C-alpha cells in the first residue's frame, strides 16, 4: 500500500470547509471540475487528466459521510483503486483539514507519486484557503439585506448620532468657508479697468511683476508745467501731454499643453484562481488614425503573463509592452491578458501607461 497526504490549518469553521469539499461548483474551483455519473448516486467524475501526478480522470464514490467531520471516497483511476479520507477537526482559530489517499489495488509509478502529493499539498494550502475567503465574503453579502452586521465581520467604529451631526455641521462650515474664500480670492484677482475719462495722474504707477512682487515705480510719460514762460511766447503755458498713462502690466498667461492623442483605461477581472485577467481599452481622440502606440504595464513582483488576446507583447523584467493595430479616428482598441500569480490574492499591476501618460482605472 502506498500513501500520500497533506494537512492544513484553516481560519474558517468546519461547516464552510465541508461545503468546499462536497459542493461540485466549489470543488471545481480549488481542485478539479466534477460532474455527476448518470444513474449512480453519490458518484462523481473528477476531470484530473492532465494534472500533475494524474494519468486519467478519477471516478469517486462516497463510502462514508459524517457531516462535517469525515468524508471517505473510493477512487478509480483507469483501474487503479485508492481510498481518499478527508478529516475536519475544529480548532480555536477555525479547523484543521487532513487528506490522506492510500492505494487499495495497483500502485502509482515513481513519476506519479511525488507530483501527485505536491498537487494535493498545493491545492490544500493555496487554492482552498483562497476559495474559503471568497466564500466567506459571499456569505456576508448574501445576508447583508437581513439588517445589521453578521458574525462574519466585526462592527467597526460605530458613532452616535450627535457626533455624526456635529461632523456634518463642521463639514458644511468648512465647505462654506472654502466657497467664501474662493469668491474673495477670485474678486481680488480681477484686474482693474482703467478710468479713461479721468485726468492723468501725476503720481508714479507701481506695476506688479509676473512673479507677484512689486517693481520699482515707473513715472508717467507727460509733460510738467514749465516754471518760466517759453521763449516763443510768454503767455503760453505748458499743457499736459495727451499720451496715455502706463497701464498695469498683466502676467503672461501660460498655454496649457495639448491633450494626448491616445488615452487608456485599465480594468481587472479577478474571477480567476491564482491570477487575474487585465483589460486595457485604448481610445483615440484625434481626427486621424494613430498607428504607432504602446501600452506599458508593470506587473507586481512574482506575476507572469500567460496569454494575450488583441495585441502583440514583449516582456522586459516586470514591464510588459503591448502594441497592436492602428486605432481609428475617434475609435478604440481593446486587448486582454491573463496573469498568473501563485499567491491566494493576486496583486494588480503596479503601473500602466500609454505614450508615457498614466492609464485610468489603476
Q: Which residues pair with 7 in a beta bridge?
A: 98
Nearest by Cα to 77 from 94, 61, 95, 91: 61
Give CATH 2.60.40.290 domain extents, the chain.
262-358
SS3 sequence, the chain? CCEEEEEEEECCCHHHHHHHHHCHHHHHHHCCCEEECCCCCCEEEECCCCCCCCCCCEEEEEEEEECCCEEEEEEEECCEEEEEEEEEEECCCCEEEEEEEEEEECCCCHHHHHHHHHHHHHHHHHHHHHHHHHHHHHHHHHHHHHCCCCCCCCCCCCCCHHHHHHHHHHHHHHHHHHHHHHHHHHHHHCCCCCCCCCCCCCCCECCECCCCCECCCECCCCCCCCCCCCCCCCCCCCCCCCCCCCCCCCCCCCCCCCCCCEEEEEEEECCCCCEEEEEEEEEECCCCCECCCCEEEECCCCCEEEEEECCEEEEECCEEEEECCCECCCCEEEEEEEEECCCCCCCCCCEEEECCEECECC
Q: Which residues pair with 277 in a beta bridge?
A: 269, 338
Please tell me what DSSP assigns to residue 90: E
User: Which CATH class for the 3-143 domain?
Assistant: alpha beta
Which SS3 state, helix, strand or coil, does residue 126 take?
helix
Residue 248 near residue 192, CB atoms below 8 Å? yes
Domain 262-358 fold is Immunoglobulin-like (2.60.40)
Give CATH 3.30.530.20 domain extents, the chain.
3-143
Which SS3 state, helix, strand or coil, does residue 170 take?
helix
> pLDDT value at position 247?
59
DSSP 39-69: T-TTEEEE--TTSTT-SS-EEEEEEEEETTT
Alpha-carbon 67 to chain mean position: 40
**Backbone Cα Rg of the chain:** 38
Which SS3 state, helix, strand or coil, does residue 215 take?
coil
Nearest by Cα to 342 from 297, 306, 290: 306
- The torsion angles phi and psi of 81, rounded to 5 degrees, stand at -105, 145
Pick out the chain residues at pLDDT < 50: 141-144, 146-164, 167, 169, 171-173, 175-227, 229-238, 243
> pLDDT value at position 67?
93
Determine the Cα–Cα distance for residues 164 and 146; give it in Å rounded to an integer. 24
172, 296, 301, 314 from 317: Cα distances, Å: 49, 12, 9, 10
For the question of whether the overall pTM of this predicted structure is more than 0.75, the answer is no
Amino acid at each position: 500500500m502506498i500513501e500520500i497526504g497533506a494537512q492544513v490549518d484553516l481560519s474558517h469553521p468546519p461547516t464552510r470547509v465541508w461545503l468546499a469539499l462536497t459542493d461540485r461548483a466549489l470543488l471545481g474551483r480549488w481542485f478539479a471540475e466534477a460532474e455527476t455519473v448518470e444513474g449512480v448516486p453519490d458518484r462523481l467524475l473528477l476531470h484530473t487528466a492532465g494534472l500533475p501526478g494524474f494519468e486519467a480522470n478519477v471516478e469517486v464514490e462516497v463510502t462514508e459521510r459524517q457531516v462535517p467531520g469525515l468524508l471517505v471516497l473510493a477512487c478509480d483511476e483507469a483501474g487503479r483503486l485508492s481510498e481518499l479520507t478527508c478529516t475536519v477537526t475544529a480548532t480555536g482559530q477555525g479547523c484543521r483539514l487532513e487528506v490522506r489517499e492510500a492505494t487499495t489495488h495497483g500502485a502509482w509509478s515513481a513519476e506519479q507519486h511525488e507530483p501527485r502529493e505536491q498537487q494535493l499539498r498545493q491545492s490544500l494550502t493555496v487554492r482552498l484557503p483562497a476559495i474559503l475567503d471568497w466564500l466567506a465574503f459571499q456569505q456576508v453579502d448574501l445576508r447583508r439585506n437581513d439588517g445589521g452586521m453578521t458574525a462574519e465581520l466585526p462592527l467597526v467604529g460605530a458613532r452616535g448620532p450627535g457626533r455624526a451631526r456635529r461632523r456634518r455641521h463642521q463639514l458644511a462650515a468648512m465647505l462654506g468657508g472654502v466657497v467664501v474664500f474662493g469668491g474673495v480670492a477670485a474678486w481680488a484677482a480681477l484686474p482693474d479697468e482703467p478710468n479713461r475719462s479721468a485726468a492723468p495722474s501725476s503720481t508714479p504707477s507701481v506695476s506688479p511683476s509676473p512673479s507677484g512682487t512689486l517693481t520699482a515705480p515707473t513715472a508717467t510719460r507727460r509733460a510738467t508745467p514749465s516754471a518760466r514762460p517759453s521763449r516763443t511766447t510768454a503767455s503760453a503755458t505748458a499743457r499736459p501731454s495727451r499720451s496715455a498713462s502706463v497701464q498695469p502690466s498683466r502676467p503672461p498667461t501660460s498655454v496649457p499643453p495639448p491633450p494626448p492623442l491616445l488615452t487608456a483605461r485599465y480594468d481587472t477581472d479577478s474571477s480567476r484562481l491564482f491570477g487575474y485577467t487585465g483589460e486595457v481599452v485604448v481610445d483615440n481622440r484625434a481626427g486621424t488614425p494613430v498607428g504607432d502606440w504602446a501600452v506599458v504595464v508593470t506587473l507586481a513582483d512574482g506575476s507572469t503573463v500567460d496569454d494575450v488576446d488583441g495585441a502583440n507583447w514583449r516582456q522586459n523584467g516586470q514591464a510588459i509592452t503591448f502594441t497592436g493595430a492602428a486605432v481609428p479616428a475617434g475609435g478604440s482598441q481593446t486587448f486582454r491578458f491573463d496573469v498568473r500569480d501563485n499567491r491566494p490574492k493576486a496583486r494588480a499591476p503596479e503601473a500602466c501607461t500609454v505614450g508615457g501618460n498614466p492609464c485610468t482605472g489603476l
